[in-house]
Amino acid sequence: MLQYKTIMLDKLKALRQNKEGKTKGSQDSQKCLIALDIGTEYVKALVGRVHEDDKIEIIGVGRAHQELTDMQAGAISDIGRVVANCDQALAEAEDMAGVNNVRTTTIGIAGELVKGTTTTVRVSRKDHEKEMDMEEVERIVGLVQERALDRAKKQLSTELGGKDVEIRLVNSALVGIEIDDYQVSNPVGFKGKTVTVRLYTAFAPMIHIGAIERVAKELDLELLAVAAEPFAVARSVIGNDPSGNMNAILMDTGGGTTDIAVLQDGGVQGTSMFGIGGRAFTKSIAKDLSIDFAQAEELKTHITSSAMSAMKKSTIQKSLQKTLNVWLGGVELALESFPVDDHLPHRMLLCGGGSSLEMLMDQLEQSHWYKQLPFAKKPSVQHISPDQVVGIVDRTGKVNDHTYITAMGLLRVGLDTMFTQDQSRTQAGLKERINRILSV
């Protein structure tokens, strides 16, 4: 098996390298980014061309199927196989884009041990008559990150029965700053007794990050950023509008996990993940009908077919409903964990292949699952469409549904990171300075 993996990987690398003479110079690869969405069911690769106005144009798309043992609950379990799958998707995307030497990439990370939350720290100033400067803001932000790291370590240790887990910050975003309970967009120059900073941070175990770094190294890619996938989805719909005030629950249901992010007033309040996705529904059918996984997947995806008998359809629906009840319980628990000042947003936006299941959407829309949660009214439910993603346009005609939203969000995170690293474009404003502090 190991020899097979090595041969396949060598063939895929050769395919990419052989295109060099044919495609070199056809596009400016220095202005291109790769997004690599390593999902439990599929690897998706996007090649995006970055324009001067900070817009991204998708010029290449690739996809490769993952085997059952390649991933477990959103985390890489077979590095060799995942590398081969990623290389296949990249070769397809680069061939479509007409480039072969794009190396800068952003890769998503998911799984139940990826923790994202908003931390609030209130700091009393010794000299409240002194105007705040950027150095003081940086110190306060650093303090918030330290507090968030300590909280994440304690949470993971508790969940793992006291085991100490090494973790790393993967994403951080400024939610808001107040001076003496007055909201400000830029605290520099203000006087005041207390400063309150709200910062979203996401942490992941080093063992998961290490696997992603190994994949990037094997593919000869420059890893620009590792992004918590619900954060990437949030970035896809928020964009760079400083006055944006979107309120929504974002839900990415993939093959192995469901990732949830809550947005309030345009800021990420927190993210949560649990290990139930599309494959759990397929496995339920396989078990109840005593068939293999491939047959069960075929039945699941064709459950609305008129060719299927009513008896078989009823049997499959009963099997799916059992897992759906457990999945809804996971959604409720996740939403209960979000600290909200008033009510949860009533707008729910879904993406990911697992959310393609019609019964899942029907259950969210028609059942009373939300009654015990702090909703002001019944949630409205819809899929995120690619044209709702801010600042990213598809030129291939291939990015045409909700299954590519996470990959599009990873392109946005890559652009954010490129911006903070490009000193020639960085301005003197608070947002740019804070972004440099938060860049990881």
pLDDT in tens, 363-414: 999 999 999 999 999 999 999 999 999 999 999 999 999 999 999 999 999 9
Q: What is the pLDDT of residue 19?
A: 45
Tell me what pLDDT residue 244 has: 65
266-315 pLDDT, tens digit each: 788 888 899 999 999 999 999 999 999 999 999 999 998 888 888 899 99
CA nearest to 250, candidates 271, 220, 267: 271
Radius of gyration of the chain measured on its C-alpha atoms: 22
Q: Which pairing describes strands 167-179 and 222-228: parallel, antiparallel, or unpaired?
A: unpaired
Kindly state the tokens that stand for 196: 């309150």
Partners of 172 in beta bridges: 201
pLDDT of amino acid 172:
82
CB-CB contact of 171 with 440 (8 Å)? yes
Provide the pLDDT for residue 264.
85
Q: Which helix (DSSP H) or strand (DSSP E) does residue 199 occupy?
A: strand 194-205
368 in Cβ contact with 332 (< 8 Å): no
Model pLDDT, residue 144: 86
Instruction: Compute the 3-state secondary structure of the chain and give helix, strand, coil in percent, each to the nearest 5.
Output: 40, 25, 30
Residues of the chain with pLDDT under 70: 1-30, 240-244, 340-341, 419-440
Q: Evaluate whether 176 touches 227 at the Cβ level (below 8 Å).
A: no
What sections of 35-123 are H helices per DSSP?
79-97
